[in-house]
Amino acid sequence: MTSSEGAAIEARGWGWRHAGRRAWAVRGLDLRIAPGERVLLLGASGAGKSTLLAALAGLLDTSGGGESEGELRVDGRVPHDARDATGIVFQDPETQLVMARAGDDVAFGLENHCVPTAAIWPRVHRALAQVHFPYPEDRPTAALSGGEKQRLAIAGVLALRPRLLLLDEPTANLDPVGAELVRETLADLGAMTLVLVEHHVAQSLP
């Protein structure tokens, strides 16, 4: 499978209970998502949507006292082993921006993934173009609006060329203009698989 193709997701009776909790956050989940499919997760607060995204991103670990049951697979692998194919964007872009300048922030993840130096900046430029970033790459991140920061966070993930993109309420903390900019970015992501948690249902549907 090439990086331009989406990842497949499958859950069979999957569940997760957080450490110290009696109730399961998710239980008995059966799910199949085809490569390239776009899925909007709906449910009341506390229904386990964010837990599922964290699990798909390989961020849940039973060594911390959590309990898992059933099977959850990304391209046939346990999510922890498929992290090279997965990217996640959270509600608050401040938690994902780590560098003082926009281009450096996108390059940071590529450097951490040991991408060859000669390939880093072409990928930075492409990712910034994908999200329609309106400034030069040396733009200070502190000068960006909320919507611009979220688009930059998405660019940082897209530069890694994931086959699965997970988004946990990416417009929750944005004003209407910023939220629309993010939705426009998500509308043109190519063939990757997308799983989105979003409360603004009407605006999220095609």
- Condensed to tens digits (0 to 9), the pLDDT of residues 153-194 reads 999 999 999 999 999 988 887 788 878 887 888 887 778 999
Q: Is residue 163 part of a domain?
A: yes
Residue 4: predicted pLDDT: 59
pLDDT of 206 strictly over 70: no
How far, in Å, CA of 53 to CA of 2, rounded?
23
3-state SS class at 201: helix
Residue 34: predicted pLDDT: 97
Mean pLDDT of 5-14: 96
Query: What is the tally of structural domains in the chain?
Result: 1
Q: Is residue 1 part of a domain?
A: no
Q: Is residue 117 part of a domain?
A: yes
Q: How far are the Cα atoms of 62, 111, 196, 199 from residue 43, in angstroms, in the given order?
A: 25, 37, 12, 9
> Which residues, 6 or more positions from 5, have their beta carbon under 8 angstroms from its beta carbon?
35, 36, 163, 191
Least confident of 4-13, 66-75, 149-158, 182-191: 182-191
pLDDT of 204 strictly over 60: no
Mean pLDDT of 102-124: 96
Q: Is residue 150 part of a domain?
A: yes
Between 102 and 179, where is the model more confident?
102
Q: Is residue 4 part of a domain?
A: no
Residue 85: predicted pLDDT: 94
Domain that holds residue 30: 9-204
Q: Is residue 192 part of a domain?
A: yes
CATH code of residue 172 = 3.40.50.300
Mean pLDDT of 79-104: 94
Angle at 107 between CA 36 and CA 121, to 5 degrees: 90
Residue 2: predicted pLDDT: 42
Average pLDDT, whole number, for the chain?
A: 90
Residue 44: predicted pLDDT: 81
Give the percent of the chain with pLDDT over 70.
Answer: 95
How far, in Å, CA of 178 to CA of 132, rounded?
13
CB of 1 closer than 8 Å to CB of 79: no
